[in-house]
Homo-oligomer: A and B are copies of this chain.
Amino acid sequence: MQTLSKNQQIIFDLIDKSPEPMKAYSILHNVQKKGIKAPLQVYRALDKLVEIGKIHKIESRNAFIACHNSSCQVSKATAFSICEICEKVTEISSASLSKYLTNFKDKDGMKYSKYNLEFFGLCKKCR
């Protein structure tokens, strides 16, 4: 549990409080009053936060959410559900899923050190 730098903390707090994934330039707009003025300052903080597992990138949406799943060790194994109507994103925390994927071997017997899984469908509200 390392301490975050000033920019990292500001940006993490913002993402952590957001009910939905946040995009980089939306983050930028929200932190300009706190002195973070340039895209690069945002992207650098995002890179670090992803690296240490505090946030995840939703690749299909180019957006970021805070990790609320202590079992996904440093972002090596991530799974999300995404509603195709309202765009609600939830991190999936399933021991059996992560066990299955962590142990998955392909045809050549290769095991992978990392994965990202994105499920799509309709959330409760949108069904």
On A, residues with C-beta under 8 Å from B are 59-60, 81, 84, 90, 92-94, 97, 100-101, 104, 106-108, 110-124
Contacts and interface: CB of A to CB of B under 8 A. Distances in A.
Contacts of A81: 106, 110, 112
Nearest to A115: B119
Contact of A121 (B84, B110, B118): B110
So how many copies of this chain end up in the complex? 2
A124 to B, nearest CB: 7
A104 B96 CA distance: 10
A123 B84 CA distance: 33
A110 B94 CA distance: 13
Given A81-B112, A97-B104, A100-B100, A117 B120 contact: no
Nearest to A57: B60
Contacts of A97: 104
